[in-house]
Amino acid sequence: MNFVIDAGNTLIKTAVYNNTDLKVLEFHAEWIAESIHATLKSNPGIVSCLICSTREVPVWLPLLMKESDIIYYVLSHLLPLPIKIGYETPETLGKDRIAAAAGAADRFPGKNIVAIDAGTALTIDLITGDGFFAGGNISPGMRMRFSALHQQTFSLPDIEPSDHVPLIGTNTREAILAGVVNGLIYEIDNSINSLNNKYNDLHVIMTGGDAPYLSARLKNRIFVEENLVLNGLNAILRNFLISE
């Protein structure tokens, strides 16, 4: 079994996989040693761990893995991956983007894929049918856009997304809502349409905290997978076994 960790800006997600089957899934706001230790103890068949983190990793984590006889890896473009990285600066490529791309390629093998992560940032990445990570786009995520309008101006309010999004706003709150949400929808749909004109049989998969909210408003057909990064980390560990 594999133990994988996706430590993002908002949440720390941990999961235990038995081959491709997700057995345990947990969410934490911060690192909690007791919780991770309990997960390892209740799943004695874990042999390897792979972590993808955008935050500082506590010093006790690799020590805990060593004490539990679990092989510990930190995700890097230098590891044997099930995809080929075509990024000009792979050392600067976000680890979560690598994991999401691996998860997308594992979900749709042999297909051209757009992998979208709608989290703190919005990333739109292309993986071709031969497993080549061609690159992608990074822009502010939805809540970052709301927050920036509030923090970088003197008078605009800080608002939350709403179920009803008008085409145009008739007051300041609605105008911000329409501008941010509709702008994101246009950006995502147009990116998909442009890539679809160049790559045949394009599959689109979306993850991230805002994926359910945004996907329901897109014109393009989207497959939502909330555990895409975790699935990708597990796919990378499974690839280790093939490589060895």
Query: E strands along 36-110, which residues?
Result: 48-53, 71-74, 84-85
Residue 125 CB coordination number (10 Å): 23
Contact 125, 206 (CB under 8 A): no
**Is there a catalytic annotation at residue 201?**
no
Q: Are 181 and 171 a contacting pair, CB within 8 Å?
A: no
Q: Which one is catalytic: 6, 21, 69, 96?
A: 96
Interstrand relation of 12-18 and 21-28 (parallel, antiparallel or unpaired):
antiparallel
For 148-157, b/e burial (b = at least 16 CB within 10 A) is: ebeeeeeebe
Overall residue count recorded for the chain in this entry: 244
Cβ(77)–Cβ(91) below 8 Å:
yes
Q: Report helix angle 60-67 to 33-42, nearest 10.
A: 20
Q: Which residues are catalytic?
A: 96
